[in-house]
Homo-oligomer: A and B are copies of this chain.
Amino acid sequence: MKVVIIGGVACGAKTAARLSRVCPEAEITLLERGSDLSYANCGFPFHIGGEVRDRTGLTHMGFGPARDVEYFERYAFTNALTGHVVTSIDRKKKQVAVRVVADGTTKVLPWDKLVIATGASPIRLDVPGMGARGGLGNVFNLWTLRDTIAICEALEREKPKKAVVVGAGLVGVETAEALRGRGLDVTLIDALPHPLAALVGTEFGTMLRTQLAKNGVSFYGGERLTALEGGERARKVVTDKRAIEADIVIVAAGVRPNIELARDAKLRIGTRAIRVDRFMRTSDPDIYAGGDCVESRNILTGKPVWQPMGSTANRHGRVIADHIAGLARPGARGTFTGSTFTGVEGTAIARVFDWSVGKTGLTSEAAREAGFAPVEVLASNPDLPGFMPGVATFFIRLVADASTRRVLGAQMTGPGRLDKRLDVIATAIMGKLTVDHLADVDLAYAPPFSSALDPVTHAANALRNKMEGLMPGYSPVELRAKAERGDDFVILDVRGEKELERFGKLSFDKNNKTNKSISAKAPRKFRHIPLGELKDRVAELPRDREIIVVCRAGVRAWSACSMLRRCGYTKFAVLEGGMAAWPYEVVPHP
């Protein structure tokens, strides 16, 4: 059986490797248009930043050999051909036409099964000045191994001082950090108001802006790139709001799927990329596709989404190989054992200097759009018991469906260890857990690892409290919107006197859209009663106005609300996540 694979980086290389293991009868040909095979492109920013000093780790096996043509021949029984560009697919004759880059000759290769793993390519921004950029310039994408080498060489050779990174998605943010790590002045611009806007909403996005600023990255959000100026080399990056000097420019404005071959072959294309079934077959059952060029099913919405991720591409490759090998077959209880692809959950994560940020599942907005009735809570948590050295805070925004109570998603950020807490939520989503079952998961507890109740458990419990009507709450964005609308409420700060003096109190003044000073009403709006005095002083609070309780992390506010309920108050709520999660202005007190 002749199997031809188009594309040799992630999904294609994985398909070849797996196929060589599980399908002895397959004659595998791997066609890569570039010069390199199976490289770890997610590691590139870390190499540029100097954290991964030795590039061989990105291109070689841990036990030695480079993942090159010889490797695929010797270890994976695969005839790998680099510099081989597939120019068309003939479905009737079951063959592909190939152009050999080295000598311009053409070939025709027959197949019984074809795998399209053509990946994605960086989006080319069509602005004045971009056209003149070539290999000799100082404007780079960061996508392939060659891009990475070119950037590293430019950093060595030209010793640039000022860098502009266009695009604050995963690659852009990682690259900004990498260039700071090399000592450059870095400016990061994005058309959206916050960095990593595909991962997180306004609160976390605002926190990440602060985090970037703290680490010396100038971030300009909500600005469109309009031109590059400077001729053969870019000297200025121009947006609709400013011009920024640059010695080097990295364009990380996103990628698009490489679907031209599939489209020309009249294979079904979905909303953005190639449509495949759960065996990763295209509309032609002898043609498979996987990796960045296909759509996957979101397991929560059931709808196709395009999630170009190395992890997803690797899973695709396994499923393709197994189906070609005949391993997918009906199993117990009508399910398929062996490989089918369940779908994606929209998980993503990034490190932003000493913070992490990630998401899985649906945001409230996406959940509402998909027909769910989302409820969400924002919780601030220490990642370890408070008494342990190295404890750090992080923030969870947890989303569930109000009617089925099913967990729908989470976003997290902060300096605390949150990465695998995100994985717990991803696993809960796969298992269709309710928020109640999530709270009961028997998570591993010992002080070096977590609190008696893990932050995930705490967040699930906080969401349950909110869903049961026990703990009404507002997120910072919601509270600020209330203030801007001119809603009547009292802020009750239940922190201790010293905490308040040291950390200040929340304010709605800065950049508020009404142009009216909200905290000018402070004597009427702001009350301070430490939680320990609240039992005795509760009568000082009005019964007819909504009381919004604020503390450091949200825990004391929840206690205070319980006291208010006990004392017959009915209009109260907490500021979710407390001052720790308040991304807006803080002013001195008194």
Contact = CB atoms under 8 A, between A and B. Distances in A.
Contact of A331 (B318, B405, B535): B405
A539 to B, nearest CB: 16
Contacts of A413: none
Contacts of A315: 439-440, 453, 457
Contacts of A446: 42, 170, 174, 348-351
Interface stretch (A19-27, A128-136, A254-262): A19-27
Contacts of A445: 42, 309-311, 347, 349
Interface string A299-319: 000000000011111110010
Contact of A424 (B327, B427, B464, B558): B427
Interface string A36-72: 0000101100100001101001100011110000000
Given A386-B57, A559-B21, A430 B423 contact: no
A387 B332 contact: no
A562 B16 CA distance: 13
A571 interface: no
A50 to B, nearest CB: 10
Given A349-B445, A351-B446, A337 B423 contact: no
Contacts of A214: none
Interface in A457-505: 457, 461, 464, 468, 470, 495-496, 499
B444 A426 contact: yes
Given A74-B532, A332-B403, A430-B437, A442 B311 contact: yes
Contacts of A464: 338
Contacts of A77: 535, 563, 566
Contacts of A343: 440
Given A447-B46, A468-B327, A535 B74 contact: yes
Interface string A393-433: 00000000001110000000000010111111011101111
A358 interface: yes
Contact of A51 (B348, B389, B441, B461): B389
A450 interface: yes
B452 A42 contact: yes
Contact of A426 (B358, B442, B532): B442
A388 B45 CA distance: 12
Interface in A272-314: 309-314
Contacts of A438: 427, 430
A310 B496 contact: no
**Residue of A46, A389, A423, A468 with highest tally of chain B CB at under 10 A:** A423
A449 B54 contact: no
A241 to B, nearest CB: 30
Contacts of A80: none
Q: How many identical subunits does the complex contain? A: 2
A444 B347 contact: yes
A576 interface: no
Interface in A317-355: 318, 327, 331-333, 335-351
Interface residues of A, number: 118
Contacts of A423: 420-421, 423-424, 441, 443-444, 454, 456
Given A63-B556, A440-B342, A452-B311, A431 B434 contact: no
B337 A405 contact: yes
A295 to B, nearest CB: 15
A312 to B, nearest CB: 7
A340 B349 CA distance: 33
A546 interface: no
Contacts of A495: 63
A470 B21 contact: yes
Given A427-B431, A562-B21, A63 B419 contact: no
B426 A428 contact: no
17 contacts: A10-B452, A22-B470, A51-B388, A52-B387, A52-B389, A63-B499, A174-B446, A311-B442, A332-B405, A335-B436, A339-B436, A341-B440, A342-B436, A360-B444, A420-B423, A427-B431, A430-B431
Interface of A: 10, 20-22, 24, 40, 42-43, 46, 51-52, 54, 57-58, 62-65, 74-75, 77, 170, 174, 309-315, 318, 327, 331-333, 335-351, 356, 358, 360, 382, 385-389, 403-405, 417, 419-424, 426-428, 430-434, 436-450, 452-454, 456-457, 461, 464, 468, 470, 495-496, 499, 531-532, 535, 551-552, 556, 558-559, 562-563, 565-566
